[in-house]
Amino acid sequence: MTADTALSSQDNAGHAGQLRISEIFLSLQGESRSVGFPTVFIRLTGCPLRCGYCDTRYAFQGGQWMSLENILTLTTDYDTQHVTVTGGEPLAQRACIELLSRLCDAGHSVSLETSGALDVSAVDPRVVKVLDIKTPGSGEVARNHWANLDWLSPRDQVKFVLCHREDYDWAREILTKYELPARCEVLFSPSFGQLQPRSLAEWILEDRLEVRFQLQLHKLLWGEEEGR
């Protein structure tokens, strides 16, 4: 039994009102529409995917069980409006759905960073979904749950992390096939250390793509420090 399987089994067995948390911390949002804002990150433990460029492998296992009340208290103590629930893959834990709604009820501006491999239909509509569509270069392209696109609103965002030109060409085809720019904002990001940002910027300009180019602000500020 893998660590991820063990975590899934424990969730299914109970732990009502609890989540296994890898870390809760304050930083600047490094990606998405709210980039640059002070943000509380709630990182949940566990992920069923193994993307080649993952920079949070430490969150695959470990962490500690915490009640939703405790998580909400720790989040409020930071006195910051923006909150991001991330992982790992946060939706791998059933109680994540309730946490998202309760964060919204508490008045926070809440975003969810999800791999796109798990069903998002039950996510509170007040939450901004940042859906990562896995490219061939990620090694997990087969895990994309395409039905999730039907649950996107104009407030949500789709993100492509691109490893090379082949990823870019594939993502461009997906943009057209699913008419993504008409659904929500689309983000193209170069995989750190794999694709030169300037190359990606030039390709976007050449093709006049209706996407937002983004770099990982936290990597520019703090290098490859995990989670920051």
Residue 225 has pLDDT above 80, yes or no: no
Q: Which tens digit of pLDDT belongs to each residue from 153-176?
A: 999 999 999 999 999 999 999 999
**179: three-class secondary structure by DSSP:** coil
Region 83-104: what's the mean pLDDT? 97
Element (H, E) at 83: strand 82-86
Which residue(s) pair with 160 in the sheet? 133, 188
For 61-94, letters b (16+ CB in 10 Å) and e give bebeebebeebbeebeeeeeebbbbbbbbbbbbe
The CA-atom distances, in angstroms, between 111 and each of 127, 129, 157, 167, 213 are 5, 6, 10, 26, 19
pLDDT (0 to 100) of residue 69: 97
**Across 201-208, average pLDDT:** 98
Q: Domains along the chain?
A: 3-222 (3.20.20.70)
Q: Could you tell me the pLDDT band of residue 32, with boundaries at 50, 70 and 90?
A: confident
Q: Which 3 state secondary structure label does DSSP give 163?
A: coil
Task: Provide the pLDDT confidence category of residue 9 given band limits of 50, 70 and 90.
Answer: very low
Of 52-61, 108-117, 219-228, where does mean pLDDT reach its minimum? 219-228
Cα angle for residues 222, 223, 228 (degrees, 5° grid):
50
pLDDT for res 131:
97
Query: Is there a contact between 87 and 61 (Cβ–Cβ < 8 Å)?
Result: no
